[in-house]
Chains A and B, each alone.
Chain A
Amino acid sequence: MLEKFRDTQFYKSIFRGGGVPKSRRQRMMVVLNSVFLHLHPVRLPKHAVKLKFTWCMGGLTFFLFLIETISGILLMFYYRPTIEYAYTDIIDLAEQVPFGIMREIHRWGAHAMVITVWLHMFRVFMTGSYKPPREFNWAVGVILLLLTLLLSFTGYLLPWDQLAIWAITVGSNMARATPFFGYEGPGASLLAIGDINFITMASDARFALIGGRFMGEAALLRFYVLHCIGLPFIIMIFMAIHFWRIRKDGGISTPV
């Protein structure tokens, strides 16, 4: 039955080649002919398919990113980023939506993603895979690590409960101590002409981050936009570079 279906014009039009890939050549063509699979090379060194070598952490990080994207899009249907509605929308989500575990999947997936990124980096370090010619891709990976943390951090504010705003308050208060650009940072008073300070409570790094002098409506909107559009956009560009460079730098690292 399945065999027959694989022989139809319909199946062949979707999967080029058709049939069950049996010969070596056909199996190579599967990878080459698929837009998704051809992120991979066709053939790999044999240690590269062993879990004890790769730990699969990079792949799982990407997979979790996809899960976060999908569950995040679903959450956006129910959530309005205003002080008036944010909290009640989250409560509604838990109480009214049938099978409502999307927020759980999104939150635990985000925690898991932070951990898988760290472990991926740890594996890459322990196998010396940052060494030439992969040093730039290591740097891209560090940027991706930073972006993952920022994505998680911006998302933390959105439920607008006590846990959220105080965690973000602790985090964003650091910004006002930024050297030169925070109003309580060393050197900020040097950026002045005569008595006029350029860096004040209403013009410093913290103000730029939360859009006000206090945690409020503007902070929520800023974090929402960064979380849903801004940071995902940037991280996708860096992910593309990261994956492309893996291939260009010679695939998974091998002993010389």
Chain B
Amino acid sequence: MEGFKNLINTIASPTILFTATMVLFFFIFPLNDWFDKWNRRLKLHLLWTKKAMIIAALLMAGFFLFGLSDPDFRSIVLKPDNVPISGLIFLVYFFTWLSMHQAYQNDERLENGEKVDEHYDAPNDKALVWPDLVYVEFIALILCSAFLLVWSIGLQAPIEEPANPTESPNPAKAPWYFLGLQEMLVYFDPWMAGVVLPSLIIIGLIAIPYIDRDPGGSGYYSYKNRKLSIALFMFGWLVLWDMLIIVGTFLRGPNWNFFGPFEYWDIHKLEALTNINFSEYIYVKWFNTGMPNNILIREIWGILVLLGYFLILPPLLAKTWMKDLFARLGSFRYSVFIVLILIALTLPIKMYLRWMFNLKYIIAIPEYFFNF
């Protein structure tokens, strides 16, 4: 048992968990035809069968039940405000399965020249709102109310000690739905993690329909014809949002150190880390000259790297790997799309730079609070 718990603690560490997810993700949610081919070859499309769902749900439930026997797991999972996140894990899995299940079924129908499940002959195939829809809504309302009542009677809303501005808890956590943002604080400064990135998430979401304008695949579940948009959305939603929330809630303890799900939150756990800026790498480690005084000279390398990333990479991709996409979107839409994607990718990139090289900032100008 202890061996199993240690194993889980080890593979839950962000480096391993995140790397495994990154490697597998686009095989599970194919980004293009190449990934789709491997998806079939590796039989990953079987994930969306009913059998796979039942097995996965049982495994997840089994893991939770087993975990509850462990005091450290119990203390974090049963914290009243964390209960919705356990629910979220199951719900997100189930609805991901439900949509992908229907999408793959519809893809198969389309391939066989049949109509999709949602097809209807307007205006003949219509249902009346009264009673057909009203009773579905009515039952949903009753079930929802009953569920909420049971939850409210069974679990008291948390109330801790009276507020004391001089005594901060360790760790101090934001409400759970913002923990993905708080997790980003490990890799970015607050102006990025707390202001710029959240704003870009909102802007990016609003931009979706203006970038993906292909009228196909509207009004029914499908995957094959929408690979790129669904795979990218799934990556943002499942990995960069939900997974970071789960890590931030369950796996971050005192001093925002990482703790496995079966690990005691030891406040004295030490993680000696000296993070080094890109400019220090260049001037101190490579040139051996010491840091220059002029800010611009000091940070020019990081600025060049970022300029290259945002100004040279997009046209390069437009000429090569994303040629078709560029032709379809046109230069303006393509620019917006690629800049949003590249900014989103700075998060995983910075994660790996941190884990592999202890890199702190690519551009570090603390004099003007400008660190990236």
Query: A residues bordering B, Cβ < 8 Å?
Result: 21, 24, 27-28, 30-31, 37, 40-49, 51-53, 55-56, 59-60, 63-64, 67, 83, 87, 90-91, 94, 101, 103-109, 111-112, 114-115, 119, 122-123, 125-132, 134-135, 138-139, 142, 145-146, 149, 152-153, 156, 159-167, 169-171, 173-179, 182, 184-189, 214-216, 252-256
Contact B120 A254 (CB under 8 A): yes
Contacts of B214-247 to chain A: CB distance below 8 A: 214-222, 226, 230, 233, 237
Contact B175 A112 (CB under 8 A): no
Least CB distance from B153 to A in Å reads 6
* Bound-state Cα–Cα, A144 to B117, Å: 30
Residue from A41, A166, A170, A189 in contact with B129 in the complex, judged by beta carbons closer than 8 Å: A41
Using A31-B129, A170-B174 as known contacts, list a sample of 8 further A-B pairs with CB atoms less than 8 Å apart, ordered by residue number in A: A51-B136, A59-B137, A103-B157, A119-B92, A142-B205, A142-B206, A254-B122, A256-B219
Which B residues are CB-close (under 8 A) to A162?
160-164, 167, 169
Least CB distance from A130 to B in Å reads 4
Cβ-based interface call for B102 (8 A): yes
Least CB distance from B115 to A in Å reads 8
Contact A135 B160 (CB under 8 A): no
Give the segment of B51-59, B83-91, B284-292 that binds chain A. Answer: B83-91
Main secondary structure of the interface of A (DSSP, over half): helix
Pairs across A and B, CB under 8 Å, 14 listed: A90-B159, A101-B152, A108-B151, A119-B91, A122-B96, A127-B99, A127-B221, A128-B216, A128-B222, A162-B161, A162-B164, A186-B365, A254-B219, A256-B215
**Contact flag A156-B175 (CB < 8 Å), given A131-B215, A174-B194:** yes
Contact B133 A255 (CB under 8 A): no
Contact A128 B226 (CB under 8 A): yes
**Contact flag A170-B172 (CB < 8 Å), given A177-B190, A186-B369:** yes
Cβ-based interface call for B281 (8 A): no
Cβ-based interface call for B189 (8 A): yes
**Contact flag A52-B122 (CB < 8 Å), given A105-B152, A108-B152:** no
Contact B208 A128 (CB under 8 A): no
**Contact flag A107-B191 (CB < 8 Å), given A31-B129, A64-B144, A165-B165:** no
* Bound-state Cα–Cα, A139 to B137, Å: 25
Cβ-based interface call for B81 (8 A): yes
**Contact flag A47-B117 (CB < 8 Å), given A131-B215, A215-B165, A253-B218:** yes
Contact A177 B144 (CB under 8 A): no
Contact A37 B214 (CB under 8 A): no
Residue from B136, B156, B191 in contact with A177 in the complex, judged by beta carbons closer than 8 Å: B191
Query: Residue-by-residue, is B356-372 near A (CB-CB < 8 Å gives 1, otherwise 0)?
Result: 00000000010011100
Contact B163 A167 (CB under 8 A): no
Least CB distance from B121 to A in Å reads 10
Q: Closest residue of chain B to A34, judged by CB?
A: B130
Which A residues are CB-close (under 8 A) to B162?
87, 160-162
Cβ-based interface call for B103 (8 A): yes
Query: Residue-by-residue, is B67-96 near A (CB-CB < 8 Å gives 1, otherwise 0)?
Result: 000000000000001001001100110011
Contact A28 B157 (CB under 8 A): no
Residue from A127, A175, A189 in contact with B368 in the complex, judged by beta carbons closer than 8 Å: A189
Which A residues are CB-close (under 8 A) to B251?
none
Contact B182 A46 (CB under 8 A): no
**Contact flag A56-B136 (CB < 8 Å), given A128-B218, A129-B218, A153-B178:** yes
